Chain A
Amino acid sequence: MLAIIIKSIIIGVLGGAAVAAGAARMFHAPKVQSMGAFRTLGELNACKGDPVTHISFGLGFLFNAAASVVAAGALTQDVFHRVIPNWAAGALLFRNKNVEETLHDPAKMIFAGAIVGAVVVTFLNTVASVIPESMSFIAQQILGPAANLMINPVMPIIFWLAALDAGKTTGIWGTILGGLAHMIMGNAVPGIVLGILIGQSIEEYGYTRSTQVMITIVTILFITIAYFRGFFEKVLELF
């Protein structure tokens, strides 16, 4: 138990600091390379610099993360995407309502994020050990099949339909790379993601040098993965 607490604090401080500073950098993108997610940026803006909104938004996802960690030991991506950035912002905004001096300032967010990260990660990792083992066994029995269905076929279908809805070029690239990925990597999603990326770039800018570079990289990537996963041997066996 003590080991879990100490490790959680270290992980929370490092991750919280990095994610909060990365979120602050998002407000300076694309001039500055940042990290986070577009949905995080949108949600941070939607809270309009109101500390109570930021805190309660994060709290909703903390409940979900707690349920997930109790059930399966998984913290969910929302801890880094939503809870830490919003709580770090909320904590700073209580003292100063000006978002430019708080939420947009990586020098302040990095410390707020470190503290929030340590608290949240430690809380979540210890709350799981309070739950009786029989209960988490039930959860795993239920979540296992649900998770397997999610990975295949639900996620590939969602991404596939999104690619098909985005126009002919994106739909064709998504379908071909998705099909290849499902054969070679065992799941279509990464292929469809690459297909959407390539298809959208072509639709907007045509076959420029940078789209050609991207297609080349993706081709090499597929060939390399196929080689290491013994795909070519399987194809040769057909003849």
Chain B
Amino acid sequence: MDTVKVQGNSWEDKLRYILLQAYSFPILVGLACAAIFAGTHMYVTHNVGAFNEIFVVRMLDEGLSGGDYAAAAGFAAGFLIARVLEGPLVGVLDIGGALMTGVGIGIPAMMLASGITLPIDNFIVSLITGAGIGLIIGAVIIIIRKFMPQGMSSAGTNIMMGAGNATGQYLGPLIIISAISFSIPAGVGAFVGAAIFYKFDKPVAGGAILGAMVLASFFAV
């Protein structure tokens, strides 16, 4: 399967060889998961630093403030399993669905729902927990790869990629609508900001929220 050969003897050649082997994949997933899980620790303790989109982090918020983690756990765990099944089939593990949403939101939500708080409250423990989860996921993917017949469908990925990109586009208009129902200055700021960002080829959602924040705090209602 992995047939990359060592080409040379310097430490960098050896590192390259190691980094292209099957066994180094779980290590890389472990490192990424350690960072993502610790990012969720950052969000819970410092209110900043979660590696995900606003609307996904918001689901975890619902659990943190109201104690109902069902939305976050169901949504994110489903994504995690779908992507872990898909990863070995297509050769690319989606770090957005599997790691950032599944490991970063779903697993913490399930832990918090069952009253396990230490891995989320303590930075060092969060790094170790994330690394452990990542190692397991990486190993499972490599094992599935060994047993699954090659050449499964990658067409499904294209469909989901299209849907995923469309999701991003909806956020801008949704923020503008939400800003308008918040207050008139916020609404004006949102659509003007969105128009300016659009003119300069920047994401519309960013312009909408920045414009709404600036005008709404200027003309406090």
Q: A145 contacts B178, CB within 8 Å? A: yes
* B198: Cβ under 8 A from any A Cβ: no
Most buried by B among A12, A106, A225: A106
- Flag if B159 contacts A221 (CB, 8 Å): no
Residue in chain A with minimal CB distance to B134:
A18
Task: Return chain A residues, CB-CB under 8 Å to B70.
Answer: 186, 229
**Is B46 part of the binding interface, using a Cβ–Cβ cutoff of 8 Å?**
yes
Which of A26, A35, A217, A229 has most B Cβ within 10 Å? Answer: A35
Q: Contacts A11-B42, A189-B75, A197-B82: A36 and B92 contacting too (C-beta < 8 A)?
A: yes
Bound CA span A155–B220, Å = 32
Q: What is the predominant secondary structure among interface residues of chain A facing chain B?
A: helix
Q: Are B93 and A34 closer than 8 Å at their CB atoms?
A: yes
Residue in A15, A21, A138, A165 whose beta carbon sits within 8 Å of that of B186 in the complex? A138
A26 near B92 with CB under 8 A, answer yes
CB <8 Å contact, A73 and B48 = yes
Give B49-84 interface residues, CB cut-off 8 Å to A. 49-59, 70-71, 74-75, 77-79, 81-82
* A188-205 at interface with B (beta carbon < 8 Å): 189-191, 193-194, 196-197, 199-201, 203-205
Nearest A residue to B207 via CB reads A67
Known contacts A64-B202, A76-B53, A200-B153; A143/B19 CB under 8 A:
no
**Could you tell me if A186 and B159 are in contact, using CB atoms closer than 8 angstroms?**
no
Partner of A69, one of B48, B90, B164, B182: B48
CB of A173, distance to nearest CB on chain B (Å):
10
Interface: A166 (CB within 8 A): yes
Decide yes or no whether B15 CB sits under 8 A from chain A. Answer: yes
Contact yes or no, B32 A190, CB < 8 A? no
- B16 CB contacts on chain A under 8 angstroms: 105-107
B92 x A38 contact (CB < 8 A): yes
Contacts of A76 in B (CB 8 A): 52-54
Q: How far is the CB of B96 from chain A (nearest CB, A)?
A: 5
Given contacts A106-B20, A146-B55, A186-B74, contact A210 B149 (CB under 8 A): yes
What's the interface size class on A, roughly? 35 or more
Per DSSP, chain B at the interface is helix
Q: Does B22 contact A (CB under 8 A)?
A: yes
B7-48 contacts to A, CB under 8 A, are: 12-13, 15-16, 19-20, 22, 25, 28-32, 34-36, 38-39, 42-43, 46-48
Contact residues of A between 51 and 100, Cβ < 8 Å to B: 60-61, 63-64, 67-77, 79-81
| Interface contacts beyond A38-B161, A39-B165, A196-B156: sample of 8 additional A-B pairs, CB < 8 Å, sorted by A | A8-B42, A11-B35, A35-B93, A39-B161, A60-B201, A67-B205, A107-B19, A139-B209
The contact of B210 among A34, A67, A191, by CB within 8 Å, is A67
A143 adjacent to B175 (CB under 8 Å): yes
A37 touches B35 (CB 8 A): no
Q: How far is the CA of A60 from the CA of B202 in the complex (A)?
A: 6
Residue of A nearest to B137 (CB): A35
Interface residues of A (CB under 8 A from B): 3-4, 7-8, 10-12, 14-19, 21-22, 24-26, 28-39, 41, 60-61, 63-64, 67-77, 79-81, 105-108, 110, 117, 121, 124-125, 128-129, 132, 134-136, 138-139, 141-151, 154-155, 158-159, 161-163, 165-166, 170, 181, 184-187, 189-191, 193-194, 196-197, 199-201, 203-205, 208-210, 214, 217, 221, 225, 229
Q: Could you say which residues of chain A place their CB within 8 Å of the CB of B203?
A: 60-61, 63-64
Q: Is B94 an interface residue (CB 8 A)?
A: yes
Separation of A62 and B190 alpha carbons in the complex (Å): 19
Given the complex, which residues of B lie within 8 Å of A17, measured CB to CB? Answer: 31
Partner of A197, one of B4, B43, B85, B96: B85
